[in-house]
Amino acid sequence: MTLHKNILVTGGAGFIGSTFVAQSVACGQRVIVLDALTYAGHKENLTWIKPENYKLVVGNIADGALVSSLLQEHSVDAIVHFAAESHVDNSISKPAEFIETNIVGTYILLEAAREYWKKLSAQKKENFRFLHVSTDEVYGSLGAIGKFSETTAMKPNSPYSASKAASDHLVHAWFATYDLPTIITNCSNNYGPRQFPEKLIPLMITNALSGKDLPVYGDGKNIRDWIHVEDHCAGIALAIEKGKVSETYCFGGNAERANIEVVQGICRILDTMRPNKSGAKYESQIKYVTDRLGHDRRYAIDDTKAQKELGFTRKHNFDSGLKATVEWYLANRK
């Protein structure tokens, strides 16, 4: 597998992006991280990586001049685009930020990439890749059976997922119209170390330890498929190096769980690892709250294509992965 040597990673100080950066530098790749360091992006997410192995540039993907200068200065041969507003609740209350970052920002990034790519030598043009990281939420909601795949029609139901679907369409259009060598990946829910505590798993861990309510939307039976962040990032690396230009690849965890099951599992782990001083079980803190607007009922991904074409495999089992994630948060309360 021929490695791209110089990679620009947008959103590389975030949860998933920083994991990808770590895996890339471990493979000997040179990584330039472009991150606006908004509330969910932190320099601390990168401090566990040797500083000489990556360069952090604080800036916005909507700054086309900055992106262009980074591409040229560092002879970038691949862009991996993680940067996005990603929390559904925030998209419901502040949709404009999602339109600006996820749609307009992606457009500006694509244009900077296209202008840079046009000037490369024939060999470098052929080797260049623009990989756009997206989500299974663009596909909408599943019924009791079936799974999403690369051929599933998009039917987003939240401002977040609609903005991501729009950016997916833009990325494909830049290939179809301009021949920019793009690849799109869609994944199920990620979990693991360093996730910002607005998402379900870290929120429940931090709330439980702080004695706060564990808010569960609706009846708690909305189902998500969970993939460990390290498995997802390994899949992205495979897509860059082995994926076909213009194709989409889905990555799932083969780990469907109802939200209430995940929360109860976290409570049981904490009961063992960090028993409540009062003697109460952490499950006593669970509180059902009014359901989220437009809350999709079920997600699940069929990643057969990625397994067959890329050799994608998963190293993490959800139950042991969840336990290890709880352990990480216990050891890294700060």
pLDDT tens-digit map of 239-284: 999 999 999 999 999 999 999 999 999 999 999 999 998 999 999 9
The answer to whether residue 197 is domain-embedded is no
Q: What is the pLDDT of residue 38?
A: 87
Token couple for 322: 């969840």
The answer to whether residue 110 is domain-embedded is yes
Q: How confident is the model at residue 2 (pLDDT cuts 50, 70, 90)?
A: low
Q: What is the pLDDT of residue 121?
A: 97
The answer to whether residue 30 is domain-embedded is yes
The answer to whether residue 29 is domain-embedded is yes
Residue 160 among the catalytic residues: yes
Q: What is the mean pLDDT of the chain?
A: 95
Chain-centroid distance of CA 313 in Å reads 18
The answer to whether residue 324 is domain-embedded is no
Q: What is the pLDDT of residue 83?
A: 96
Q: Are strands 223-228 and 256-258 parallel, antiparallel or unpaired?
A: antiparallel
Q: Output the 3-class SS for the chain.
A: CCCCCEEEEECCCCHHHHHHHHHHHHCCCEEEEEECCCCCCCHHHHCCCCHHHEEEEECCCCCHHHHHHHHHHCCCCEEEECCCCCCHHHHHHCHHHHHHHHHHHHHHHHHHHHHHHHCCCHHHHHHCEEEEEEEHHHHCCCCCCCCECCCCCCCCCCHHHHHHHHHHHHHHHHHHHHCCCEEEEEECEEECCCCCCCCHHHHHHHHHHCCCCEEEECCCCCEEEEEEHHHHHHHHHHHHHHCCCCCEEEECCCCEEEHHHHHHHHHHHHHHHCCCCCCCCHHHHEEEECCCCCCCCECCECCHHHHHHHCCCCCCCHHHHHHHHHHHHHHCCC
- Mean pLDDT on 296-323: 97
From residue 1, alpha-carbon distances to 4, 232, 241, 303, 311 in Å are 10, 18, 6, 21, 12
Q: Which of 35, 85, 136, 225 is catalytic?
A: 136
Q: Which of 35, 77, 85, 137 is catalytic?
A: 137
Q: Crossing angle of helices 200-209/318-331, nearest 10°? A: 50
Of 71-75, 79-83, 274-278, the least confident: 274-278
Q: How confident is the model at residue 87 (pLDDT cuts 50, 70, 90)?
A: confident
CA distance 29 to 7: 7
Q: Which of 107, 116, 139, 160 is catalytic?
A: 160
Q: What is the pTM of this model?
A: 0.96
Of 17-21, 81-85, 197-201, the least confident: 197-201
Range of the domain at 139: 6-192+227-254+299-316
- Statement: residue 198 has pLDDT above 90: no
Q: How confident is the model at residue 318 (pLDDT cuts 50, 70, 90)?
A: very high
From residue 312, alpha-carbon distances to 191, 199, 229 in Å are 18, 26, 14
- Statement: residue 1 has pLDDT above 80: no
Q: What is the pLDDT of residue 189?
A: 95
Here the CATH number for the domain that contains residue 308 is 3.40.50.720
- Statement: residue 171 has pLDDT above 60: yes
Quote the percentage of the chain above a pLDDT of 70: 99
* CA contacts within 13 A on the Cβ side of 300: 17
Q: Over the stretch 24-38, which tens digit does the pLDDT of each residue have?
A: 999 999 999 999 998
Q: What is the pLDDT of residue 286?
A: 97
Rg (CA), the chain: 20
Q: Apex CA 77: angle with CA 75 and CA 83, to 5°?
A: 100
The answer to whether residue 205 is domain-embedded is no
- Mean pLDDT on 311-317: 97
Q: How confident is the model at residue 170 (pLDDT cuts 50, 70, 90)?
A: very high
- Mean pLDDT on 214-226: 96
- Statement: residue 223 has pLDDT above 80: yes
The answer to whether residue 49 is domain-embedded is yes
The answer to whether residue 270 is domain-embedded is no
Tally the domains of the chain. Answer: 1
